[in-house]
Amino acid sequence: MVRRVVHVTMTSMSVFDLGPFADAEGYAEAIELDRVDPLAGCRADFVVTDPDMIYLDGNSLGRLPRGGAEIIDGVTHREWGERLIRSWNESWWELQLELGDLLAPLLGAMGGEVIISDSTSVNLYKLAEAAVDASKGRTKIVTDDLNFPTDVYILEGVAKRRGLELEIVHSDGIHGPVEGLARALNGDTALLSLSHTTFKSGYTYNVSSMTKMAHEVGALVLWDCSHSVGAMPIDFETANVDLAVGCTYKYLNGGPGSPAFLYVRSELQDQLENPITAWWGHAEPFSFSLEFRPVEGIRRFHTGTMPILSLAPIEAGVRGILDAGIDEIRQKSVALSEYLIGQWETHLARHGFDLASPRDPEARGSHVSISHPDGWPMTRAMIEVGRVLPDFRRPDNIRLGLSPLYTSFLEVHTAVQRIKRLFETGAHTAFMNVTATVT
């Protein structure tokens, strides 16, 4: 392998060694783990224009699958450019249902239980309102303080408009407050809504036991699987999950802002009402009747016209996961995160980096957070000098996302070495006062 050095002018260093770092502990292990990795070949299915750049943010925006780029090209030039309005009948009208069915096995759902629709935020709103309506008189929604802010804002809005209480159960900042949630759930609870894998620490709930806990008090459960879908097996059917939402642009590699999914268990579909009574949820949208009549089944949770250019490439992302196998993906995800934690312990812990994710792989998703008082300038130095792309979550979390289809063990080894060298040379001190809108 060619050893690369970048010239840096913005810091005290004149050159920065990009590695690989064959002398550093853990290198031989990384090479061996990559050699025996059954998913190593999947990386070739993605567009990788800069092999020196180590991308550890697939949990925020997955890489571009080659198949996705081809779909975008075909939809743009053939379906839109040539076929124009005829494409609605030829391939567009049912696409969000077809892609929902394609995705269903990754959720342990059945055909007809999943659609692609709107954004995760809007889907959460629709299903939370529907659940509270169906609960007839229950007065409380329960969540935790590890949930993604948009989820909490939406639940808060639903509660406020209806005069309900939103109970936000506090955690230790890393682990899901399972016991606190058990105490909060009671006969007044309409809905328990949680992130399956939490965005900051990566803590991952046991869907079955938490769903059972909610059902025991007669509450519905609404899972946000944005940070788990495509990274680990999910089994809604066995767990008897009521409702769920999630993004397609993270581990599913659907593309920036690709529309989200929503799941409603089949028996509940006709009992629940979409609060946004829009024409795509109408029984006969092309009757253009002024009287709203909801269609039966999952379609009633639609809103309006789908963004076809963003919807279509989801197929390539989901097929990539299905072809590789979700059990194999989870196995590699755990191996990558365990390897990363070992490397953190050997090389970074002594420099004041703390592990801000659960130690137990059973309770962890596919990213590892490390915290440091200089987490923000370190993140900027990693991106600008170290050619490692993580993301940063306040106050001090550097999130390292591991996407098993394209992250290699050697990349993890090299990234840790670059982080270590950036810190030891003080490269991050040049970035103390740098700001960014998207962190």
Ligand X SMILES: *Cc1c(COP(=O)(O)O)cnc(C)c1O
Q: Which of the residues are catalytic?
A: 148, 224, 249-250, 399
> How far apart are the C-alpha atoms of 236 and 223, rounded to whole Å?
10
The β-bridge partners of 144 are 169
Q: Which two tokens stand for residue 363?
A: 């309770």
Q: Which CB atom, from 281 or from 401, has the smaller least distance to ligand X?
A: 401
At closest approach, how far in Å is the CB of 250 from ligand X?
6
CA angle 263, 267, 272 (to 5 degrees): 70
At closest approach, how far in Å is the CB of 385 from ligand X?
27
DSSP string, 191-240: EEEEESB-TTT-BB--HHHHHHHHHHTT-EEEEE-TTTBTTB---HHHHT
At closest approach, how far in Å is the CB of 264 from ligand X?
18
Q: Which CB atom, from 224 or from 374, has the smaller least distance to ligand X?
A: 224
Query: 355, 398 in Cβ contact below 8 A?
Result: no
Q: Which CB atom, from 236 or from 423, has the smaller least distance to ligand X?
A: 236
Q: Which two tokens stand for residue 21?
A: 């770092």
Q: Which CB atom, from 106 or from 381, has the smaller least distance to ligand X?
A: 106
At closest approach, how far in Å is the CB of 177 from ligand X?
17
Query: 148, 118 in Cβ contact below 8 A?
Result: no
Q: Which CB atom, from 159 or from 229, has the smaller least distance to ligand X?
A: 229
At closest approach, how far in Å is the CB of 302 from ligand X?
16
Q: Is 370 helix (H, G, I), strand (E, B) or coil?
A: strand
Q: Is 376 helix (H, G, I), strand (E, B) or coil?
A: helix
At closest approach, how far in Å is the CB of 362 from ligand X?
20
C-alpha to C-alpha distances, 98 to 87, 299, 315, nearest whole angstrom: 15, 12, 9
Burial string for 401-432 (b: 16+ CB within 10 Å, else e) reads bbbbbbbbbbbbbbbbbbbbbbbebebbebbe
Name the residue type at position 312.
A
> What angle, rounded to 10 degrees, do the helices at 326-343 and 409-424 form?
30
Q: Which CB atom, from 46 or from 148, has the smaller least distance to ligand X?
A: 148
Tell me which residues touch ligand X (CB under 6 A): 119-121, 148, 150-151, 195, 199, 224, 226-227, 247, 260
Tell whether omega for the bond before 395 is within 30 degrees of 0, i.e. cis.
yes
